[in-house]
Structure 1
């Protein structure tokens, strides 16, 4: 696999500047260890909704899953404010205990275990260890996925901290350096901070398969055995979740270019389908030109729609061909519908083998974040003037 590092220039409308082109990598596509789980106490809480239910379930059974939890600071009038950290997030929350919860309960203290940051701990470095309280604040509004109201609390305390797991540093090999990175190498600096960059995986012909923004530091570098003038870079980056083994599997499938036939994603796992979705968003070969006709008919192959990722991938290919993209969730599909991304409503979507989705999509036992059901997808399309024909 080939890789590229680019940085933004002073011209906001100009192209990005390439600072490294690399021929290979080590320890790049790896499954990172699970992030550390810490224990917190939400003090002085008036829980609502699923949070109240999870507290009751934890008291009865020892613990209960909750999912994501976001805290918004409130001023003395109970109005959300925007401190330096904006919002404070926990992921994969499990409630461990607390006082009685109910509509008229007195304030309780809730003990929980969670990963700091958003999904899978992302953005953990961009928020404080515990949310700092603005002057004259009244506490925090608690919300879940989709701004679900979980009530309020007065304070947050970190009561148990685990060490973060060690992560092997990725290495980009055989790099041709340019611009500031080349100048730093030639000056003999031991390490170099690039800051915000775009890190891209490239196919055989140099076309971007996947691109992600991350803060990048060159921890060390050395002459490469790939040839004179080339350098091997050992990196430290702020975001790592995009370089999983699932992404490696997908990028190998795209090495010779974007797919030329549909449904190559069908045998993939859920995480691999997510990586395939990322690749479709960069697939210029299947990017539509403006001016899609209205009242068109698109055919959706439903044989492999066993999860929401599968629905989005099948929809992308129905509209824009193999490797095509037309959103990955209701929000991005809605954006595509309104932005002339290959199909403009009103149009007709002929959904073949829809029974697969009816059997597989929607809430499943022991989960806290349900995917949309087939009925909810149909209601969404009806709301957006898409006539779905089930066959």
Structure 2
């Protein structure tokens, strides 16, 4: 069985509700919201907005003031919730808690549970929330006493089909060599980081000191930076933040390594160039690369850029 349906009981203890052999609808892209139009009334355009009035193709996103308007039509329009995307649990062995739901499904329409994905060793590699609204139950296509269950809402945080190969790599038991993330696109690298976070479920004692080497040959985007940093500090598949805020949290300790230590960043020029236009705080006028280096150094890390 590759999947577990789990829910906390009244005492907060995790309770197994079902084992399932397969899932259809795990990898989906969210339904895009409908396109909306806003009408700006009584405008005095300035800067890029003034230029766009005459040449719309020149209008780009900017933090500068683009003029003033007296009113905006359509800003507070009613919006419908996006349609829920169902999910099918195939070849399930239900336990008594789930059997009780199947006997009285309407009572549980607004409840939720977690779907755990197990790797080939039986370790939990990922989990995400699903709704317990049940659209249908039938004998499983796999035969025997198994059943197939269609959930009305398969959850909002499902991975994209474009990241399926990342999941397949982790399903083999987790990374065993550095830079296994390097061949993926930015989207795939971001999913890699999400799985490293899932694998790091509990805070653990920190070690300080020592020298760590960051392989910068493949740091060509923000997710790549965090993949490489996590591996430098915690080994293949290691986690040390998946974005700016999470990275700053890791610097406070609880993720296996804490300052002071020395980080030798090899081929640092590649990240400096690739992230030159990625700015986290426009007020500081620093690139994301420079922000990360500054945060490391202010936390007591000796950073050597090579």
Please state which band the TM-score falls in when normalised by the shorter chain: 0.7 to 0.9
- Shift of the alpha carbon at 1:54? 6.3
Secondary structure in structure 1 of the residue aligned to 2:304: strand
Rounded to whole Å, the distance in 1 between the matches of 2:126 and 2:106 is: 29
Q: Are the aligned partners of 1:316 and 1:326 in contact in 2 as well (CA < 8 Å)?
A: yes
Give me the TM-score of the superposition, normalised by structure 2. Answer: 0.83
Report the Cα distance in structure 2 between the residues aligned to 1:239 and 1:57, rounded to whole angstroms: 43
How far did residue 179 of structure 1 move? 3.7
Match of 1:138 in 2: none
Task: Extract unaligned runs of 5+ from structure 2.
Answer: none
Which residue, 291, 295, 300 being the options, matches 1:380? 295
Superposed CA deviations along residues 291-314 of structure 1, whole A, max 9, x for unmatched, are: 412x32111110110111001011
Q: In 2 relative to 1, CA 163–326 (structure 1 residues): closer, same or farther, beyond 3 Å?
A: closer
Alignment correspondent of 2:124: 208
RMSD after superposition = 3.6
Aligned to 2:260: 346
Q: 1:303 to 1:266 in 2, by over 3 A?
A: same
Which residue in the other structure is 1:92 paired with?
none
SS in 1 for 2:100: helix
Match of 1:157 in 2: 76
Q: Distance in 2 between matches of 1:110 and 1:194?
A: 36
Q: Is the 8 A contact 1:327 1:336 kept in 2?
A: yes
Picking from 331, 335, 342, the partner of 2:249 is 335
Whether the 8 Å CA contact 1:194–1:218 is kept in 2: the answer is no
Change (3 A) 1:163 1:215: closer
1:23 positional shift: 0.7
Measured against aligned partners, the alpha-carbon deviations of 1:312-331 in whole angstroms (never above 9, x if no partner) come to: 01111111111110111221
8 A Cα contact 2:131 2:151, kept in partner: no
Q: Distance in 1 between matches of 2:44 and 2:117?
A: 47
Q: Does 1:174 align with 2:70?
A: no
Which residues in structure 2 correspond to 1:38-53 (within 5 Å)? Answer: 38-40=36-38
SS in 1 for 2:4: strand
Q: Residue 249 of structure 1 aligns to a residue in which SS?
A: helix
Counterpart selection for 2:230 from 296, 311, 316: 316
- The answer to whether the 8 Å contact 1:174/1:225 transfers is yes
> Which residue of 1 is the match for residue 10 of structure 2?
10
Where does residue 35 of structure 2 map in the other structure? 37
**CA offset at residue 250 of structure 1?**
1.4
Residues 226 and 371 of structure 1: is their aligned pair in 2 closer, same or farther, counting only changes over 3 Å? farther
- Partner residue, 1:242: 158
In structure 2, what is the equivalent of residue 123 of structure 1? none
Q: 1:326 — aligned with what?
A: 240
3-state SS, counterpart of residue 270 of structure 2: helix
Q: Provide the C-alpha distance between the structure 2 equivalents of 1:388 and 1:40, rounded to a whole number of angstroms.
A: 48
TM-score normalized by structure 1? 0.66
Structure 2: how far apart are the matches of 1:307 and 1:274? 10
Q: Distance in 2 between matches of 1:19 and 1:193?
A: 16
Question: Per the alignment, do residues 323 and 44 of structure 1 end up closer, same or farther by CA in structure 2, a change over 3 Å counting?
Answer: farther
**Within 5 Å, which residues of 2 pair with 1:160-309?**
169-185=86-102, 187=103, 189=105, 193=109, 195-237=111-153, 239-283=155-199, 289-293=204-208, 295-309=209-223
Displacement of 1:34: 2.8
Shift of the alpha carbon at 1:378? 1.6
- 1:109 and 2:71 are equivalent in the alignment: yes
How much does 1:354 deviate?
Answer: 0.9
Structure with the higher fraction of residues in strand conformation: 1
CA contact (8 A) 1:319 1:343 kept: yes
Quick one: structure 1 residues 296 and 163, their matched pair in 2 at CA, closer, same or farther if it must change by over 3 Å?
closer
Paired residues of 1:191 and 1:221 also in contact (CA < 8 A): no
2:228 is paired with a residue whose SS is helix
